[in-house]
Amino acid sequence: MAEMWLPDNYEVPESEPRYMKFQKGTNRFRIMSRPIIGWEYWTEDEDGRHPNRVKNRDEIPKDMNGEAKHFWAFIVWNSDAETFQILEITQKTVQKAIRSLASDVDWGNPEDYDIVVERSGEDLRTEYTVNPKPVKKLDKTVLTAFNDFTCNLSALYDGGDPFAAEEVEDENEVPF
């Protein structure tokens, strides 16, 4: 009998998704950091399409200005995936709803409660509904894990890896 090249019952491990994307249906998350904000546009080269992010609109190349979208990016606890991820929001309806919650004296800082974004429809008919959940402390195990979590959101501006083990800058200076 031939020797097994891989162990019996071996399965290739699934990689944890590092970015949260709104799926059809319910998307529940807790915002864990202040956002970085800016403008995103996409370019294409022989390796495919790539996002480019800049802090200010005047940094967008003139030929891309019409295609750039305003973005927010922050760290979230994705309740469904039970992991920390980066959530980038370019949808104005979602941005406006979260900004409204953050400005409301009864809701306040969105780091204090979960948010549910319901995505329905497809393509140009995609709609988003944003609902806050009651203010509730985050589970202690999640908070402990977050203290050990490293993510440099500012690396997104340079096209770098925000999860690289480099020194994390504190550039989350833009309040809601």
Share of the chain above pLDDT 90, in %: 76
In this predicted model, what pLDDT tens digit does every residue of 109-167 receive, in sequence order?
A: 999 999 999 999 999 899 999 999 999 999 999 999 999 999 999 999 999 999 986 55
pLDDT value at position 16? Answer: 73
Nearest of 58, 52, 23 to residue 40 by alpha carbon: 52
Helices and strands (H, E) in the chain, number of each type: 2, 8
pLDDT value at position 47? Answer: 87
For 49, the token pair is 């399409």
pLDDT at 174 over 50: no
Give the number of other Cβ atoms within 10 Å of residue 96's Cβ: 11
pLDDT at 175 over 70: no
pLDDT value at position 163? Answer: 92
pLDDT at 171 over 90: no
Global pTM reads: 0.83
pLDDT at 69 over 60: yes
Give the number of other Cβ atoms within 10 Å of residue 150's Cβ: 12
155 three-class SS: helix
In this predicted model, what pLDDT tens digit does every residue of 10-35 receive, in sequence order?
A: 887 776 789 999 999 999 999 999 99
pLDDT value at position 144? Answer: 95
Rounded to an integer, what is the distance from CA 67 to the centroid of its chain? 20
Nearest of 9, 8, 11, 27 to residue 19 by alpha carbon: 27
Tell me which DSSP letter residue 96 carries: H
- Could you tell me which residues are beta bridge partners of residue 44? 49
The residue that leads in pLDDT, 11 or 173, is: 11
For 70, the token pair is 């305003």
In this predicted model, what pLDDT tens digit does every residue of 96-109 receive, in sequence order?
A: 999 999 999 999 99
Please tell me the distance from the alpha carbon of residue 174 to that of residue 168, in angstroms, as a whole number. 17
pLDDT at 65 over 60: yes
Q: What are phi and psi of 155, to 5 degrees?
A: -60, -20
pLDDT value at position 134? Answer: 96
